[in-house]
Amino acid sequence: MIITETTVREQIVATADRLFYAQGYNLTGINQIVEEAGVAKASLYYHFPSKEDLCVAYLQRRAEKWSAKLQKFLTGTNDPRECIIKCFECRSEYLIENNYSGCSYIRIIAEMPQRSKKINQRAILNKEGQRRFFIEKVKELKNTSGISTVDLANIIFLLFDGSTMQSQVYRDIAPVKNAIKALKVLI
């Protein structure tokens, strides 16, 4: 029965996603996940060899959620400058929707300095995806700032991560607004 199969697995990842993101990876136990997901522990370990693998699935899910939201947000926008600014506005919405939980990849790396290679690699992979987005958009700009294309994209990426992080710390989207002000000077 395909419906049940995906439902249980999906239910596990959805619950892990919610709990890891809200409480942090290390403070969330397997027992809490199976309990709140309403599945048996054996089912979890049937689908995921370890908590670590479940974490990788969680990171992937976060990336997909963000990516989908951004794509929807950018629909109809062609101007690259407008795209970049909208990306920050989208981030603002995302943070509010998710109770200022910040960036899942950064949080995981902050929690596990060098423990798990699998998790670390996945997080960096996702981060690089975000960076590439900015690089592509900046390439479409006519760059008048005197900074190279890649440098400019990296600076925007810096503002993106910095404002996401600070918004979590202060539980307020003011840092994202500040980042947008910086953008309007830079591009």
Partner DNA sequence: GAACAGTCAGACAAGTTTGTCCGCATTGTT
Partner DNA sequence: AACAATGCGGACAAACTTGTCTGACTGTTC
Closest to DNA by CB, 29 or 129: 29
Could you say which DSSP state residue 102 is in? -
Q: Count of CB atoms within 10 A of residue 153's CB?
A: 23
Alpha-carbon span 82 to 90, nearest angstrom: 12
Residue 41 is a binding residue for DNA (CB under 7 A): yes
Share in percent of the chain as helix, strand, coil (round to 5): 80, 0, 20
Shortest reach from residue 31's CB to DNA, in Å: 4
Residue 146 is a binding residue for its own copies (CB under 8 A): yes
Would you state the structure tokens that stand for residue 66, as one six-digit string? 């963000």
Alpha-carbon span 48 to 57, nearest angstrom: 9
Place of tokens 């000077």: 185
Residue 129 is a binding residue for DNA (CB under 7 A): no
Would you state the structure tokens that stand for residue 58, as one six-digit string? 């969680």
Residue 118 is a binding residue for its own copies (CB under 8 A): no
Shortest reach from residue 122's CB to DNA, in Å: 16
Site pattern 50..79 for DNA (x: CB under 7 A): xxx---------------------------
Buried b (16+ CB within 10 A) or exposed e, 8-30: bbebbbebbbbbbbeeebeebee
Residue 1 is a binding residue for its own copies (CB under 8 A): no
Report the partner that residue 70 touches, choosing among DNA, its own copies, none (CB closer than 5 to 8 A by kind): none
Report the partner that residue 102 touches, choosing among DNA, its own copies, none (CB closer than 5 to 8 A by kind): its own copies
Report the partner that residue 175 touches, choosing among its own copies, DNA, none (CB closer than 5 to 8 A by kind): its own copies
- Choose which of 124, 132, 136, 139 interacts with its own copies (CB under 8 A): 124
Nearest to 90 by CA among 34, 59, 130, 138: 130
Per CB under 8 A, residues contacting its own copies are 22-24, 26-27, 101-102, 105-107, 109-113, 115, 123-124, 127, 145-147, 151, 154-155, 157-163, 165-166, 168-170, 174-175, 178-179, 181-182, 185-186
